[in-house]
Amino acid sequence: MSFTNISREKKKRFLAWWWLTLYVSLIFISAPYTLKLWNFWEKKIKINLTMVFSLFGVGLFFLLFYFLLKAKTQRLLEGGIILTGIFLGFASLWLFFTRHPIERIHLFEYGFLSYLVFQALKYKGSGKRNYLWGISIVILIGVFDEIFQWFLPQRFGDIKDVFLNSFSGIFGFLIIALFDSE
């Protein structure tokens, strides 16, 4: 079957699922090497990844807040208040619930996963059902990720990380909901 015979929407849906599958595969493929890569970046190249991710998170917050203020609609201005709450939730997860700096990657990893899941599901329909399915998919991937890590040497699966993955995914969907036109 040729790609030219498929409708534009089916191509977009296929590509959305393809990117999601690739990203989830990378999560699992990279799991045995994440700690080694982190140590390499921090020790050999002398980059403080905790600081890099912190600055990235703050920058992303201000960028999203800027877009909300630029929109100047009541719904999106109210979204700015919600976004601030989301940011404070992220900050509390960042500061209080992550023992090791490497765990903080979960916040971005599962936030981006939420975006990819949303993109894949938006061709199936719209509304709250997509959000519920999306959050469920992200939580399941997070659970399987931790179970997988439990079997790896030099890695450990932790129920706290399942919650961190889940909350990160939910926060990702809350941010998506602020910008979703429906």
Q: What is the pLDDT of residue 115?
A: 93
Per residue in 136-156, pLDDT (tens digit) is: 999 999 999 999 988 888 777
Q: Decide if 83 contacts 65 (C-beta within 8 A).
A: yes
Instruction: Provide the pLDDT for residue 159.
Output: 84
pLDDT on residue 152: 86
CA-CA distance, 151 to 164, in Å (whole number)? 19
Torsion of CA 173, 120, 26, 132, to 10 degrees: 40
Domain with 155, as residue range(s), is 3-179
What is the model's pTM? 0.75
d(CA 32, CA 128): 36
Phi then psi for residue 124, to 5 deg, are -85, -25
Q: For position 99, what pLDDT does the model report? A: 61
Degrees to nearest 5, angle at CA 175 with 159 and 60: 95
Per-residue pLDDT at 20:
97
| Number of domains making up the chain | 1
Does an H or E element contain 114, and which? helix 105-121
C-alpha separations of 58 from 14, 54, 85, 148, 163 in Å: 33, 6, 13, 31, 22
State the pLDDT at residue 124. Answer: 76
Q: Within 4-104, where are the H helices?
A: 8-30, 34-39, 49-71, 74-96
What rounded mean pLDDT belongs to the chain?
A: 80
Contact between 52 and 163 under an 8 Å Cβ cutoff? The reply is no
Task: Name the stretches of the chain with pLDDT < 50.
Answer: 1
- Short-list 123, 129, 126, 137, CA closest to 172: 137
**Contact residues for 145 (Cβ-Cβ < 8 A; gap 6+):** 27, 28, 31, 161, 165
> In whole angstroms, what is the distance from residue 139 CA to residue 16 CA?
19
